[in-house]
Amino acid sequence: MRLELTPEQEAFRQTAADFAARSVRARGGAIDAGDRFPAALVDEAARLGLLGVTIPAGEGGAGRDAVSYALALEAVAAASATVAMILAVHNSLAAEVVARFGSEPLRGRWLRRLASGRSLGACALVEADAGPGEAGGGVTAARDGERYVLRGRAAWVANAAAAELFVVFAPAGTGGEPAGAGAFLVPGDAPGLTRADARDALGVRGLGCRDVVLEDVRLGADARLGAPGDGCRVRDWALDGARVATAALAVGVGQAALAETLAYARRPQA
């Protein structure tokens, strides 16, 4: 069986590769050395459609398929794992989650902003005492009439330094909420949300990792993603996509490492 890229997939891969060669590669070392979030590169990526890759064009995205998304991440990761991870978190753990599980009002307010890159997304997933994908217990969602009250702390939140919007998973429910209480969309300027300690991220420095603290963050029911009790289902769906994105990123890093190794091995040695 021959597996070949479509002209559209190849064109999008080339767009990402040109961006990586033109703008990312020369700055990759400085991003890592200075642990600086590359805001200008993220803005440029947004103009190329790299912050809403699979979101339909009618909703502000590039309207590409999953293969095109993986190819773009590979190309960018070959120049900077940090920049590629910023794109992966935004696409897989924020924009795509809103597109799949957001209500009409949520999508109307936020999806076009996310897909166009006008707003950067992040995902508060890892509890302070739990690993990625574990339920944890650090964030709770309590019902207060028609509203939710979120409390707790999420660690290692990539993109948090610059994010305007957070997807927050609150796996522990109180006040009658079921286990797997919910997933919520929380604006970065919501009262009670603070960005705490900076986190040093090995291999992806400059990712803007912060702890996110939620102190009585009050949200309307329309901020919920999915149905009541769907938090774990939404989380698992998001992680499935993020794992594919991470694999594509790893392929790009591996390709770059192999190219550097071969170039070194072929140089005449004194």
In this predicted structure, the answer to whether residue 129 has a pLDDT above a threshold of 70 is no
Q: What letter represents residue 242's amino acid?
A: A
End-to-end CA distance of the chain: 46
Rounded mean pLDDT of 120-149?
74
On the question of pLDDT at 130 being above 80, the answer is no
Average pLDDT over residues 86-104: 97
Domains by residue range for the chain, with CATH: 7-119+234-266 (1.10.540.10), 121-227 (2.40.110.10)
44, with CB counted inside 10 A (0-12, 13-18, 19+), is: middle
Q: What is the pTM of this model?
A: 0.92
Give the other-Cβ count within 10 Å of 175's Cβ: 12
Position 197 scores a pLDDT of 78
* Residue 207 DSSP label: S
The average confidence (pLDDT) of the chain is: 91
Residue 135 has pLDDT above 70, yes or no: no
Average pLDDT of span 227-254: 95
Calculate what percentage of the chain has a pLDDT beyond 70. 91
Give the whole-angstrom CA distance, residue 127 versus residue 213.
10
Per-residue model confidence as pLDDT tens digits over 27-77: 999 999 999 999 999 999 999 999 999 999 999 999 999 999 999 999 999
How confident is residue 200, by pLDDT bands cut at 50, 70 and 90? confident
pLDDT of residue 173: 59
Give the pLDDT of residue 222. Answer: 92
pLDDT (0 to 100) of residue 134 = 47
41 vs 3, residue with greater confidence: 41
pLDDT band at 126 (very low <50, low <70, confident <90, very high): confident
Helix (H, G, I), strand (E, B) or coil at 173: strand
Residue 91 has pLDDT above 70, yes or no: yes
Give the integer Cα–Cα distance in Å for 45 and 100: 23
Region 4-10: what's the mean pLDDT? 96
